[in-house]
A and B are shown apart, each in its own frame.
Chain A
Amino acid sequence: MFRKNSFLLAIIVIGLIACTSKKEAEEAAKKSPTPSEIASKQPEVHGTEVKDVELTNPLNQVWVEAGKKNYDLKCLACHKLTDEKLVGPGWAGVTKRRQPVWILNMITNVDMMLDSDPEAQKLLEECLVRMPNQNLTQAEARELLEFMRRNDGEK
């Protein structure tokens, strides 16, 4: 039994190491961007301060959906949608407590906020983890804000 298993295992291991045909590998390699291409596509969103945000009613549903997607990918690990604090504060009520500009700057320009904004600094003292810059664009941050407004009951 053991021998049979190790034989199977060997086959699987060999398969894992060289499971793709040469052609497939070459095709895949062609499609895969080189590190230099990756480097040239890096969004750099540090340091542009958001000064003005326009809110519209009713909510933009496309933005709400897009915002939720990014919430699942980049925010949910630390922020709940209730008022419970996890790593960072829960999001319930955040759009009532904070100005839209403050929220957008916290998302896209967190280093500036932690350096200069007293409210942001207060949160750092409570949470002790610097909020990561998750490299969202201003447009993506605006979509997230729409999702937060929905979370706070706006329609």
Chain B
Amino acid sequence: MKTKLFSLQIFVGLLIIVLTLALGCKPQNPSTAVIGDAAQKVYVAPGQYDEFYNLVSGGFNGQVSVYGLPSGRLLKIIPVFSQFPESGWGYSEETKPMLNTSHGFVPWDDAHHLAFSTTNGEHDGRWAFINGNNTPRIARIDFGSFRTEEILEIPNSSGNHSSPFLTENTEYAIAGTRFGFPLDDAGSNPDVPIDSYRENFKSVVSFVRIDPESGQMSMGFQLLFPGMDFDLSKGGKGPSHDWAFFSCYNSELAHTLLEVNASQKDKDFIMAVNWKKCEEYVKAGKGKVLKSRYAHNLYDDTKHQANSVIETETIVLDPRELKDVVYLMPCPKSPHGCDVNPTGEYIAGSGKLAAVVPVFSFQKMLQAIENKTFDGEYEGMPVLNYDAVLHGEVKKPGLGPLHTEFDDEGFAYTSCFVSSEIAKWNVKTLEVVDRIPTYYSIGHLMVPGGNTAHPHGKYVVAYNKITKDRYLPTGPELTQSAQLYDITGGKMKLLLDFPTVGEPHYAEAIPASLVKDRSVRFFKIEDNQHAYAAKGEKEAKVFREGNKVHVNMTSIRSHFTPDNIEGVKLGDEVYFHVTNLEQDWDVPHGFAIKGNDNAEILIMPGETCTLKWVPDKVGVIPFYCTDFCSALHQEMQGYIRVSPRGTNIALSYSTNKKPDSESK
């Protein structure tokens, strides 16, 4: 009785707060929004570790940045789809194949969503996947090396946005095309009029198989749809394990001025796909083989070399022929986020232009499918009755609801872009219990493990598109930001904000304890199988193959061997294969050479990296170590002599060779 009365008091109290905020809808004054002990809660003393790794997508920079939480300290930038001159990623001969595609070498992409591998719906600390939106790709980062180990191009896709969200046991990574595009039976993108959209354009959803041991990706199967433009997706969990859910925003099939023409209908769809059943149909031979060219790039950590293979086929299923693998749930106005709660029972669809967040019930969906509670068909696919599948609507969450994350106590957090705030609501009762402003224009948000069966909770992080007056001005282009909120009490509390690298989209955070002891410290030099490795200075050499000059070079604190090279001629291409002989943690060496129309390379201990250089002038050219390695780092340098074409100077090389006159 007493507790009931108490919770009634809380309820009334919250109601008053909610009403006050809803009526006076303006964000609080930023300077008063931070609570007194915030600094203490984010302070991680020098030498102490953060509690979480937070991997944040870099959006248009094509990279992933790694922050510690709660401090917000930037620990590393992991190059993925974009060349990164700092480490030589995409510049070194070994990493160039990682950026190979069916279009050839593509040195940039737009990286939006991170998905950490899970086992039984929980983080297992093995891999992080991220999508390339522009030239459709999925990359796999290994939590041992914190490097991109694999990139798979997604064929028959344009704008790989609803990707690479994972199924519960990391069986598949999901990839749905954002832009409908013409696709013919030969698997090509034919030359057709754009206004033949309805007739010729398709949207494709891909399921990329992930090997449970190695994490390696391969195309599982693809589903063919009308050009309805998929936006976001999530895999099911628990009871909904066999299903994946997608939002789509262009059921109008518009091909011009989409901001108006794709916003015509009152409802678009959340699409439910039974991937398990699709798998069975593929096994039963119901799929059609479609010719498709796509690159599969894999990095080998003993050869220290990436290899790119062009694949030529995919298997395609037509859900309209199969009848029982795809169902559409009507969702108000151009849904964006499509998020599954930890129990796997509820799916929150966020209609960007809607005043509510509809929450669908998986059990009700199954029931409606069984009872055939359909509201007709859309392009040959069954549309479920809205009321029959609805758990309920979150009323007035805020303006422009985008994404929803979940905590470990039955609450959901929805980002509201237009009103710049986070709304916290109860998943069962759908009541908004708290709201807090963000600065400004929040896109994605993240609770550590908020996408898993057992969220780690503790914080919600807002990833903001606009920072306007939050930091010292830096010209017309300002940083984006992340904001950290404490969610351990009933009310969200702002603790910290920090600028991000690139534009953050979806991010994930994982307890450091699940990852930190897996870190690779160095590569064993004995295991190095690079074709041009010099394992010890005795193996250092320079040799010629036609106009290619190979320099198998070693580096150790603090000299290169060889460091004097002669006999290179104009017209030669020089390949510096530098092996780092160090066998201790945190001792990379760098290598750069004057006038090179290339980057530098950073070579990790035990590794071999290759930098190509085509000399353009006669003369003696210096090279040096770029990574401060010891007290005598400044002395870590050498010369290569470039002679005119046709001169008769033999190839020679040395380190510490005294001139004849001196040695006598």
Contacts and interface: CB of A to CB of B under 8 A. Distances in A.
Contacts of B234: none
Nearest to B104: A17
B604 to A, nearest CB: 11
A132 B538 contact: no
B557 A34 contact: no
Interface residues of B, number: 53
B540 to A, nearest CB: 9
Interface stretch (B405-413, B514-522, B637-645): B514-522
Nearest to B560: A77
Contact of A22 (B311, B558, B582): B311
B287 interface: no
**B147, B302, B554, B556: residue with the most chain A Cβ atoms closer than 10 Å:** B556
Contacts of A25: 298, 307, 309
Contacts of A17: 96-97, 100, 308
A77 B581 contact: yes
Nearest to A76: B537
Interface in B468-525: 517-525
Interface stretch (B3-11, B108-116, B138-146): B138-146
B536 A73 contact: yes
Interface in A39-87: 39-42, 72-74, 76-78, 86-87
B398 interface: no
Contact of B302 (A33, A76, A87, A134): A33
A34 B96 CA distance: 20
Contact of B525 (A73, A78, A87): A73
B97 A29 contact: no
A135 interface: yes
A16 B143 CA distance: 28
Interface residues of A, number: 36
A48 to B, nearest CB: 15
B550 interface: no
**A16, A17, A130: residue with the most chain B Cβ atoms closer than 10 Å:** A17
Contact of A41 (B147, B524, B556): B524
B559 A87 contact: yes
9 contacts: A18-B309, A32-B302, A39-B521, A42-B524, A72-B537, A77-B561, A129-B630, A132-B556, A132-B584
Given A73-B526, A134-B582, A134-B584, 14 more contacts: A17-B96, A18-B308, A28-B307, A33-B302, A35-B147, A39-B519, A42-B521, A74-B525, A77-B559, A77-B561, A78-B556, A129-B631, A132-B556, A132-B557
Interface of A: 16-18, 20-22, 25, 28-30, 32-42, 72-74, 76-78, 86-87, 128-130, 132-135
